Chains A and B, each alone.
Chain A
Amino acid sequence: SQQGEEDPQALSIQEGENATMNCSYKTSINNLQWYRQNSGRGLVHLILIRSNEREKHSGRLRVTLDTSKKSSSLLITASRAADTASYFCATAPSGNQFYFGTGTSLTVIP
């Protein structure tokens, strides 16, 4: 399987703290994307980082990509209770087929 893996599987933090989750993948990629899923809902796109980029920011989100290690990290700064959700990375090695990781379940305690 080309599916990526997120680490940790579950993360629980206090409101205001930073949350970091990691994604490892297996094949070379064109880009890596991060998505968020609230319980029982569809996924929402957060950010895309291309294979020639090393870091990208969007609001309270910071994504890094290390293609030599086939890994990426998502940092959420100053977390809020509303950030409670599952977070998935998705890779597209080639063409139009996306591969999603197993997800990190984030709980932000008010």
Chain B
Amino acid sequence: DGGITQSPKYLFRKEGQNVTLSCEQNLNHDAMYWYRQDPGQGLRLIYYSQIVNDFQKGDIAEGYSVSREKKESFPLTVTSAQKNPTAFYLCASTQRRSSYNEQFFGPGTRLTVL
């Protein structure tokens, strides 16, 4: 089945630790996105990538880093510099580098800082 997978589903982190969230897609999509969702605030864009080895910052990139070494993979690292990382993280992809295409979303990773 084609789709987007995210792992883990739940992640617990101690303060001061870096953690990496996985996002993989087998849809052969060019563009991939990371969003953060907090209660009552909708989705906010962290980073997006339109092509391998290239990515752009979204509205809330501070404290996060990404890489795009392969078309199908777009991991997100939450660094210790992110002051309030507890949130629900969603990965998405689109077929072409165009805003006319729908975004396909993964099931999300819920990150909790202990």
Please report A residues at the B interface, Cβ cutoff 8 Å: 1, 3, 9, 30-31, 33, 35, 40-45, 48, 50, 88, 90, 92, 94-103
Contacts and interface: CB of A to CB of B under 8 A. Distances in A.
A42 B59 contact: no
Interface residues of B, number: 31
Given A42-B108, A96-B94, A48 B102 contact: yes
B1 to A, nearest CB: 15
Given A88-B43, A96-B31, A101-B42, A41 B98 contact: no
B42 A102 contact: yes
B101 to A, nearest CB: 8
Contacts of A9: 40
A45 B104 contact: yes
Given A40-B108, A98-B33, 15 more contacts: A35-B105, A41-B107, A42-B4, A42-B90, A42-B106, A42-B108, A45-B103, A45-B104, A50-B100, A92-B100, A94-B99, A96-B94, A98-B45, A98-B103, A99-B45
Find the residue from B33, B94, B103, B107 having the highest chain A CB count within 10 A.
B103
Nearest to B3: A42
A99 B42 CA distance: 9
A103 B42 contact: yes
A52 B111 CA distance: 40
13 contacts: A33-B102, A33-B103, A43-B105, A45-B103, A88-B42, A92-B100, A96-B48, A96-B50, A96-B94, A96-B99, A97-B58, A102-B42, A103-B42
